[in-house]
Amino acid sequence: MPAVSKGDGMRGLAVFISDIRNCKSKEAEIKRINKELANIRSKFKGDKALDGYSKKKYVCKLLFIFLLGHDIDFGHMEAVNLLSSNKYTEKQIGYLFISVLVNSNSELIRLINNAIKNDLSSRNPTFMCLALHCIANVGSREMAEAFASEIPRILVAGDTMDSVKQSAALCLLRLYKTSPDLVLMGEWTSRVVHLLNDQHMGVVTAAISLITCLSQKNPDEFKTCVSLAVSRLSRIVSSASTDLQDYTYYFVPAPWLSCKLLRLLQCYPPPEDGAVKGRLVECLETILNKAQEPPKSKKVQHSNAKNAILFEAISLIIHYDSEPNLLVRACNQLGQFLQHRETNLRYLALESMCTLASSEFSHEAVKTHIETVINALKTERDVSVRQRAADLLYAMCDRSNAKQIVAEMLSYLETADYSIREEMVLKVAILAEKYAVDYSWYVDTILNLIRIAGDYVSEEVWYRVIQIVINRDDVQGYAAKTVFEALQAPACHENMVKVGGYILGEFGNLIAGDPRSSPLVQFNLLHSKFHLCSVPTRALLLSAYIKFINLFPETKATIQEVLRCDSQIRNSDVELQQRAVEYLKLSSIASTDVLATVLEEMPPFPERESSILAKLKKKKGPGTVSVTDLEDSKREGGELNGGGERGPDTAAMAASNASTPSPSADLLGIRSAAPVGAAPASAGSLLVDVFSEAGPAAPSAAVNDDGFLSSAPPSEDPAPPLPEADELLNKFVCKNNGVLFENQLLQIGIKSEYRQNLGRMYLFYGNKTSVQFASFTTTVSYPGELQSHILFVQSCSCMFRNQYTSENWDTACYSTSPIFAH
C-alpha cells in the first residue's frame, strides 16, 4: 500500500467534522451542513477543474453528510472521476463513495463498471483488490451481470497475487449469494477446488468459504474437495503450533481454517475411500486428544480457538454417526464440559449432547450424565442454559429413566422460567405418555402437571389424558378417584375442572360406592367450580351433569333444579342455553332406557398420532431436538398406549348438538364427518359428479383446487361423493340453482338455465378462507357424445379472497359458463 503522503490529512474535512460535533442543536447542525453543501456545490459547478486532492476532500465531506442522515443528490460524477485517479487514497475514497451511495442510475453504472473493469485488468494488486471489494460491497445484480464471468478467471489465474485471490474468492461468494443464477462455475470447478492446495493459508480460508457455499447447492460437482479437505486438515492438525507462523492463533494452528474445513466436510457423507476415511478419523482423534492436553496458555483466546475446533469436530462426528468409538469419546469430552465454569461451554456442551443423545451408539454414554444435567437444570443461572438442559433431558429419556426425569422436570416446572414453561409442559406430557408402563403413574403425572402449570397446559394435553383414560379400562377407576381428590383443592385450574368434569361424568360411578364420594358429593364438588369457569368449560360441565343423571338417577332432581334455574336456562350464551334446555328436556321426557343409550359411555378412541407431538414440532424450529426420533419410538409403543386422537369433547357433545359444534371441538380439527381440508385422505372424495343427478345430460364438472382438493374425471374415480354433498345434489332434481358443494374452504354454486335445446350453466366458486387461493384451476370434462355439442366455454380466472369471517362469504368471482346444445 502506498505510503500516506503529507497532503492527505484533509484539514478541511477535520474542521468540518469538528464543527458539526460542536453544534449545540439539531438546527445549528442543519445550518452548518446547508452551508457546506452550498460551498461544495459552488466548487463542483466546475468553471475550473478541481485537483484530485480537493475533489477527494469534498467527496469525503459529502460522504460524511450522507452518513449523518442527509440526502445527497450530487457528487457522483466527481466520485467516479476519482476512480480513474492513480493515487491510492483518491481511488479508495471514490470506491467508498460508490459502495455507499450507488443507485442504479444507468449512465453512472456504465462509467463505474468501466472504471472497475480497468482496475481489474490492471496489474496493480491494490487496485484490483479495491475494485473487487467495491463489487462485493455493492453486490447488486448489475454488478453480478457485468463481472460474474471475469472474477473466476482472476481467482484461478496462475499469476494473480495471493491477496487478490483472497478478495476474488470472497467477492465471488458474495455475488453467488445475491444472484446464484449468474455465477456459473462450470469449467472453473476443478480449479477452484484445487485452491484448497494453495500454499497461502489466506487463500485457502477464503476459497473454502466459497466452496462450502457452492457445494451446498450442487454437492456432486464438488465431491473431489473431500479428499483435499481431509489432507489439508490432517496437515494442519498434525502440525506443531509453530509451523504455520502467521496463522497460529494463541498456539492453535489455523483455527478458522480448521473449523471451515470441518464444516465443509459436514456437507458430505463419510468418505468411501478407506485411506481417506482412516486419515480423517485419525484427525478427529487427534483433535479429541488435544482437548485432553493441558492448555498451552491461560488466555481465553487459546481455549476458545481450541474448543471451536473441538465442537466443530464433534458435530462432524455426530453428522457421520458411524464411529461408535468417536461418538463415545465425544460424549465423554462433552461430559467434562458440563461442569466447566464457562457458561458458554456448558451451553454448547448441552446443545451438542442433545444431538448425540439421538445416536444409537452414544445414547447410553449420554445417559451417564443424567445427574449432572439435572443439576444444571436446577442450579444454572442462565435461562438459555436451563432450556438446553431441559432439551437434553428430554432427548436422553427412555424407559429406564423416564420416571426420574419426569419427576425432575415436574419439580423444576414449579420454579421454571415463564418463557419455557409451555414447552416443558408439552415435553413432560409426551414423556409421561410415551414411557408410561403404569397408567396410574401417567394420570398422576398429568394431573400434577395441570396443578403446577395449569396455564401452560394446552388443550392437546388434557384431551390426551382423557383419550387414554377412556381407552384403558384398568385406569378408569383410579383416574376418577384421583381427579376427585384433585378437585377438592380449594383453588384448582380450569383445565383440571375440565378433566374432572369429563372423567367424573364418564366414570363417576366407579367411585360412587365410597360414602365420601357419593354421587351428590361429586356433583356438588363439580358444581362449586361451575361459576368460576369460562363458557366452554361450563358447556362441558353441563354435559357431565346430564351424564350424572344417567349414572345416578338419585341426583336427577338436584340436577334438574340446577338446569332449570335462570342462570342456565336463560343464559346469555346461546351454547349454554341450548344445552341447558335440551338436557332438561332430555332428562324429563326420555325414559331411562333412552337415556342410557343416548348417554352411553364413550367408545374407545381410534389410534392416531399424538397431537402433542405435532404441537411441539410446530413450536420448535427443526433441528433442536429430533422429534422424528421420538415419533418412531412412539409408534413402537403404540399398542402399549392404546391412545386415540379424537376430541373427547366433540364426541361427547355430539349427542346433543350436532348442529352447533362447540368451539373447542374445532380446535381439534378432527370432526370425522365434515372437513376436507385437513385430511388429504378424504380429498379424493371431494370430487363432485354434478350432472349425473343434476339435470339433463350434461358434462361433469370436477373441482380441482390445488393443495386442498384434487380430482380426476369421474369415470376414473370411483370414490363416492361425501354424504353431505350427496344431500346437496339431491336438491337439483327439482331446482336449477343452488349450492353444489360446500366445506370450510370453498363453496361451489351452480346456476343453470335451459331453453329448448340450449342450456347454459355457471359455476360459482366462493373462497371462505381469509387467504388467497393460489393456482386455482378447474377442469371441465365432458362425456364423449356431448363434446360435439359444446358451443363454447368461457371462463374468467382470478384470485380471490374473502375478507370476512368464515360464516359470511360473499365473493364469487370465478365462473365457467359452457353453453351447449342437445
Partner 1 sequence: MIGGLFIYNHKGEVLISRVYRDDIGRNAVDAFRVSVIHARHQVRSPVSNIARTSFFHVKRSNVWLAAATRQNVNACMVFEFLYKMCDVMTAYFGKISEENVKNNFVLIYELLDEILDFGYPQNSEPGALKTFITQQGVKSQVQSKEEQSQITSQVTGQIGWRREGIKYRRNELFLDVMESVNLLMSPQGQVLSAHVSGRVVMKSYLSGMPECKFGMNDKIVIDKQGKAGSNDDGAKSGKQSIAIDDCTFHQCVRLSKFDSERSISFIPPDGDYELMRYRTTKDIILPFRVIPLVREVGRTKLEVKVVIKSNFKASLLAQKIEVMIPTPLNTSGVQLICMKGKAKYKASENAIVWKVKRMAGMKESQISAEIELLPTNDKKKWARPPISMNFEVPFAPSGLKVRYLKVFEPKLNYSDHDVIKWVRYIGKSGIYETRC
752: phi then psi, degrees, rounded to nearest 5: -140, 150
Q: Which of residues 106-125 bind partner 1 (CB under 8 A)?
A: 108
Of 45 and 618, which has the nearer Cβ to partner 1? 45
Least separation in angstroms between CB 37 and partner 1: 7
Which residues on neighbouring strands pair with residue 746, listed in sequence order? 767
Among 5, 74, 609, 726, binds partner 1 (CB under 8 A): 74
Least separation in angstroms between CB 32 and partner 1: 7
Least separation in angstroms between CB 90 and partner 1: 21
Which DSSP string corresponds to 242-271? TTTGGGEETTEESHHHHHHHHHHHTTSPPP
User: 69 in the Ramachandran plot: left (φ > 0), alpha (ψ -120 to 50) or beta?
Assistant: left
Please, which residues have CB within 8 angstroms of residue 308's CB and are 6 or more apart in sequence?
A: 255, 259
The response to whether 501 counts as a known ligand-binding position is no
User: 707 in the Ramachandran plot: left (φ > 0), alpha (ψ -120 to 50) or beta?
Assistant: left
Polymer length in residues for the chain: 822
How many of the other CB atoms lie within 10 Å of CB of 791? 11
Least separation in angstroms between CB 103 and partner 1: 7
Asked if 468 contacts 429 with a C-beta cutoff of 8 angstroms, the reply is no
Which range, of 68-76, 248-256, 379-387, 774-782, touches partner 1 by CB under 8 A?
68-76
Least separation in angstroms between CB 115 and partner 1: 17
Kindly write out the interface string for residues 472-511 of this chain, putting x where it contacts partner 1 by CB under 8 A and - elsewhere. Answer: ----------------------------------------
Of 42 and 86, which has the nearer Cβ to partner 1? 42
Of 102 and 722, which has the nearer Cβ to partner 1? 102
Least separation in angstroms between CB 140 and partner 1: 16
Tell me the pairing of strands 252-253 and 700-705.
unpaired
Give the span between the Cα atoms of 66 and 726, in whole angstroms: 69
Least separation in angstroms between CB 44 and partner 1: 6
Q: What is the largest CA-CA distance in the chain?
A: 110
Q: Which residue has the cell 351428590?
A: 520
Least separation in angstroms between CB 643 and partner 1: 48
The response to whether 618 counts as a known ligand-binding position is no
Which DSSP string corresponds to 277-324? HHHHHHHHHHHHHHHHSPPS--SHHHHHHHHHHHHHHHHHHHHH---H
The number of residues that bind partner 1 (CB under 8 A) is 21
Q: Which of residues 13-52 bind partner 1 (CB under 8 A)?
A: 24-26, 31-32, 34-35, 37-39, 41-42, 44-45
225: phi then psi, degrees, rounded to nearest 5: -70, -20
Asked if 261 contacts 208 with a C-beta cutoff of 8 angstroms, the reply is yes
Of 76 and 434, which has the nearer Cβ to partner 1? 76
Q: Which residue has the cell 427443526?
A: 622
Asked if 750 contacts 682 with a C-beta cutoff of 8 angstroms, the reply is no
Please, which residues have CB within 8 angstroms of residue 572's CB and are 6 or more apart in sequence?
A: none
Least separation in angstroms between CB 57 and partner 1: 17
Of 34 and 339, which has the nearer Cβ to partner 1? 34
Q: Residue 442 burial (CB < 10 Å; 0-12/13-18/19+)?
A: buried
The response to whether 647 counts as a known ligand-binding position is no
**DSSP H helix total and E strand total for the chain:** 39, 11
Among 73, 159, 593, 810, binds partner 1 (CB under 8 A): 73
Of 67 and 673, which has the nearer Cβ to partner 1? 67
Kindly write out the interface string for residues 393-432 of this chain, putting x where it contacts partner 1 by CB under 8 A and - elsewhere. Answer: ----------------------------------------
The response to whether 11 counts as a known ligand-binding position is yes
Give the span between the Cα atoms of 599 and 415, in whole angstroms: 42
Asked if 753 contacts 759 with a C-beta cutoff of 8 angstroms, the reply is yes
The response to whether 43 counts as a known ligand-binding position is yes
Least separation in angstroms between CB 646 and partner 1: 47
Least separation in angstroms between CB 21 and partner 1: 13
The Cα angle at residue 816 between residues 812 and 820, in degrees rounded to 5: 145
Among 22, 86, 105, 216, binds partner 1 (CB under 8 A): 105
Of 39 and 411, which has the nearer Cβ to partner 1? 39
Of 36 and 575, which has the nearer Cβ to partner 1? 36
Least separation in angstroms between CB 170 and partner 1: 30
Of 108 and 308, which has the nearer Cβ to partner 1? 108
Which residues on neighbouring strands pair with residue 790, listed in sequence order? 820
Least separation in angstroms between CB 101 and partner 1: 10
Q: What is the DSSP letter of 733?
A: G
Of 66 and 800, which has the nearer Cβ to partner 1? 66
361: phi then psi, degrees, rounded to nearest 5: -70, -35
103 scored as a contact of partner 1 (CB under 8 A) = yes
Among 55, 57, 61, 76, binds partner 1 (CB under 8 A): 76
Q: Which residue has the cell 364469487?
A: 812
Least separation in angstroms between CB 42 and partner 1: 5
Q: Which residue has the cell 346430564?
A: 546
Q: Residue 372 burial (CB < 10 Å; 0-12/13-18/19+)?
A: middle
Of 103 and 242, which has the nearer Cβ to partner 1? 103
The response to whether 397 counts as a known ligand-binding position is no
The response to whether 498 counts as a known ligand-binding position is no
Kindly write out the interface string for residues 568-587 of this chain, putting x where it contacts partner 1 by CB under 8 A and - elsewhere. Answer: --------------------
Give the span between the Cα atoms of 35 and 794, in whole angstroms: 67
Give the span between the Cα atoms of 102 and 86, in whole angstroms: 21
The response to whether 690 counts as a known ligand-binding position is no
How many of the other CB atoms lie within 10 Å of CB of 796? 9
140 scored as a contact of partner 1 (CB under 8 A) = no
The response to whether 477 counts as a known ligand-binding position is no
Which DSSP string corresponds to 328-397? HHHHHHHHHHTT-S-HHHHHHHHHHHHHHHTSTTTHHHHHTTHHHHHHHHHH-S-HHHHHHHHHHHHHH-
Of 16 and 462, which has the nearer Cβ to partner 1? 16
Of 109 and 722, which has the nearer Cβ to partner 1? 109
Asked if 208 contacts 259 with a C-beta cutoff of 8 angstroms, the reply is no
Of 31 and 801, which has the nearer Cβ to partner 1? 31
* Binding-site residues from annotation: 11-12, 43, 53, 57-61
Under the rule (CB under 8 A), what is the footprint of partner 1?
A: 24-26, 31-32, 34-35, 37-39, 41-42, 44-45, 71, 73-74, 76, 103, 105, 108
